[in-house]
Amino acid sequence: MNSISTQDFFRGLIDSQKRGEPRGIYSICSAHPRVIGAAMDQAGADDLPLLIESTVNQVNQFGGYTGMKPVGFRDFVSALADRIGFPRGRIIFGGDHLGPYPWRNEPADQAMRKANELIAVCVRGGYSKIHLDASMPLGGDPVDQFGVLAPQLIARREAEMAAAAEAAFRESSRAGGRGATSQPVYVIGTDVPPPGGIQAEEEAVQVTRVGEFEETITACEQAFAEAGLQDAWERVIGVVVQPGVEFGDHVVVEYDRNKAASLIAAARQHPDLALEGHSTDYQRPELLRQLVEDGVAVLKVGPALTFAMRECLFALECMEKEIFGWTYKARLSQLGMFLDKAMRDNPGHWQEYYSGSPQDVYLALKYSLSDRSRYYWQVPMVKDAVDFLIKNLGQVTIPLTLISQYLPRHYLEIREGRLTAKPEELIQASIHLVLRDYSAAVR
């Protein structure tokens, strides 16, 4: 596959959907190099483009929690692609929940200036799929009795951000820079939890109501028209909805197409729009396929990928203890201990999400499906522990009996010669188990 036009790709995808062909694309929401590398391998094997999106908290003009600005994230991913041999022209960069969320406690005008700046630097940095999200109240905003903004105000702010994106694209095109080579396409709608996910498992998951879905589209189309952005509106390719999928620390809310039937029927009346589903992580393969069949053409996945990586690393640490731990003279990676220490030393990424008894918190830190340990893998002591674990196990032949005990899903792959018991290959294979489900669902 040669370099692709983002607009042409998504228009073709939507056309296929409206003809009743269940095609889709999965979106990788992760900044971990092992996850992105595995996704490139999978996309290469499938001969599909690779959609990689960063969230507003993860990457922004101030660095976000990764420390990367949009152009830095683009260069980081591109360097990985070059090392792996994945063509840069097959990567679609997207921004997820782009808007004023990180600055929501600031005065509205100030927060929106930063949001518009973020949108502009993303487009100039090569992002061509933009999720516009202005759904959150800002400092001084009027809200209703439920603390919610008027849809018309949300729509006007999203049109304002689209105008910033359009201006940045024109500027970048005139300057001949390394920005987006395809006009931006836009996704509207925010009927999902804010960036970071739900904060309590008892939160109810409601399928987007048809009236709210239609109101979002109508309000945004009017706001774009009033802002003179009719051409940009033609490039609105999707609406984020809640089809009834979510996950908490230890539970998964599974897709029920019967509950989503009214929403799906309403979406089919909009021939130029697809649906985008967030938090599709941990859905069973047949349910991922049903989502695509029902018109959810973009499936976001993130925590499930780092969760699979973490599972494998913990299993490898168990093997390390079995192989080397019989003697007190051996030096072990102590990965779990260092990860726990890193998370407790800097609880900002999890303390609003994990609660309950000390045992509840202990289990969530290690095993929660929201996988907030994903924020800590690049902490130096954690990274060093992973490297040492891989080095330790790389010096020995891991007995197949230990593979069977701790990584049983890979046991037969090794027996059949499709995989070796090398630590790095086992980590990649664990991530691929998730990616293959998404690959099968969207093809």
306-442 CATH fold: GI Alpha 1, domain 2-like (1.10.400)
Write out the residue limits of the CATH 1.10.400.20 domain(s) in the chain. Answer: 306-442
Q: CA quadruple 443, 302, 147, 109: dihedral positive or negative?
A: negative
Given a contact cutoff of 8 angstroms between Cβ atoms, the answer to whether 230 and 220 are in contact is no
- Angstrom CA distances, 381 to 310, 387, 392, stand at 16, 10, 16
- Angstrom CA distances, 39 to 80, 174, 306, 398, stand at 11, 33, 12, 26
- 249: number of CA atoms within 13 Å, CB side? 19
Give the pLDDT of the chain (443 residues) as one tens digit per residue: 457 899 999 999 999 999 999 999 999 999 999 999 999 999 999 999 999 999 999 999 999 999 999 999 999 999 999 999 999 999 999 999 999 999 999 999 999 999 999 999 999 999 999 999 999 999 999 999 888 999 999 999 999 999 999 999 999 988 776 666 789 999 999 876 555 445 455 457 899 999 999 999 999 999 999 999 999 999 999 999 999 999 999 999 999 999 999 999 999 999 999 999 999 999 999 999 999 999 999 999 999 999 999 999 999 999 999 999 887 778 999 999 999 999 999 999 999 999 999 999 999 999 999 999 999 999 999 999 999 999 999 999 999 999 999 999 999 999 999 999 999 999 999 999 999 999 999 98
- Angstrom CA distances, 420 to 151, 392, 432, stand at 54, 16, 14
Instruction: Write down the H helix ranges in 236-284.
Output: 261-267
104 SS3 class: coil
Residue 274 DSSP symbol: E
6-301 CATH fold: TIM Barrel (3.20.20)
413 SS3 class: helix
Stated pTM of the model: 0.94
Residue 347 DSSP symbol: G
The CA distance from 402 to 200, in Å, is 36
Residue 194 DSSP symbol: P
Residue 375 DSSP symbol: G
The bridge status of strand 252-253 relative to strand 246-247 is: antiparallel
Write out the residue limits of the CATH 3.20.20.70 domain(s) in the chain. Answer: 6-301
